[in-house]
Amino acid sequence: MKKKLSVIKIGGNVIDDSEKLHRFLLDFTALPGDKILIHGGGKIATELGVSLGVEAKMVEGRRITDIETLRVVTMVYAGLINKNMVAQLQAKGCNAIGLTGADGNIIKAVKRPVKDIDYGFVGDLDASSVSTKTLSSLLEVGLVPVLCAITHDGETQLLNTNADTIASAVAVAMSDFYETSLIYCFEKRGVMRDIDDDSSLVTEIKMEQFDTLKSEGVVSGGMIPKLHNAFEAIKSGVAAVYIGKADELPQINENNFGTRLIK
């Protein structure tokens, strides 16, 4: 029987709010069983970039990572945010270890090829990207990996990689050895029929309902790729995927958290 593992991705809006982040990390620490935390950077990278004269360049909601931007996001994601989270987790009794994809060769990416848009130093992942051996070794000695959105290509180049994608890839890879749940935490309760009405939560979505919800406009914008990746993860062996509000994470113990995606 496989041990249970929770792979949790925390969104930028929570990282930007120190009080919300403190509460989330308390709830994360209290979550039973083995776990891995994955984070991006939120507004902090953009704000630091502006102060250093490096303007954020976005195309269709995606950050263009030129060499100056890569330096900024590496400083913020792998340094400031990652180590702040690890220090907070240690204070809460969670023995965390903060890592980039380069550490222990945990996540090896390939630079995104230039097609219509040159995204710069952005990393894409494939089925062999995640070192399950290294992550399993850390979990076995009682450490909780905290992974930021910086990977590497194995040829000295660091790469900026979408944190949602990292979370999905880690959950899929680890599902060969663990009964893995993938949990996306952000500022909303989950998938909502009406984004402004908290009582309109869709508690469960099956794969065959996804296209219907897209055509109805219930799932739109940035939620479409998030759910697409989530269902791909389920197809690849992840037991369940949850999308919900960060400060409601404890409800997952009662199977009452956000929107659950299932086969």
Question: Which positions make up the binding site?
Answer: 41-42, 63, 160
DSSP states along 118-160: --BSBEE--TT-B-HHHHHHHHHTT-EEEE-SEEE-SSS-EEE
Residues 131, 137, 139, 142, CA torsion sign? negative
Coil, helix or strand for 191? coil
Cβ atoms of 85 and 96 closer than 8 Å: yes
Backbone angles phi, psi at 207, to 5 degrees: -55, -40
Find, among 179, 122, 115, the residue nearest to 150 by Cα.
122
Q: Measure the N-to-C terminal CA separation of the chain; round to a whole number of Å.
A: 21
The angle formed by the CA atoms of residues 117, 123 and 128, to the nearest 5 degrees, is 130
* Residues of the binding site for substrate: 41-42, 63, 160
With b for 16 or more beta-carbon neighbours within 10 A and e for fewer, the 145-158 pattern comes to bbbbbbbbbeeeeb
Rg of the chain over CA atoms, in angstroms?
Answer: 18
- Per DSSP, 175 falls in state T
* d(C-alpha 111, C-alpha 171), whole Å: 21
Six token digits for residue 39: 């984070």
